[in-house]
Amino acid sequence: MNHVGFVAGLAAGLWVGYGMSFWTGPAGQRWGWRVSILVQLLPAGFFAAGLLFLPETCVTVPVTSPP
């Protein structure tokens, strides 16, 4: 269960790339690479916006003294 998100994202990316390879014609040649980049920018923008709300230090880890 550790890498389910990574594997699911990898599989989704491979299937989208496979599907985009069948987009032939003039529109596919002009827009195929643009669509794939725009699809990648959506989660990247989401994570970049969430980065603003992360603390600079990890203050939730309890500090324990050695016994």
Q: What is the pLDDT of residue 66?
A: 63
d(CA 15, CA 7): 12
**Residue 5: pLDDT over 80:** yes
pLDDT digits (tens, 9 = 90+) for 32-62: 788 878 888 988 999 999 988 887 776 666 6
- The three-state secondary structure class of 50 is helix
Taken in order 15, 18, 24, 26, the sign of the CA dihedral is positive
Q: What per-residue confidence (pLDDT) applies to 49?
A: 94
Over residues 12-23, the pLDDT tens digits come to 888 888 887 787
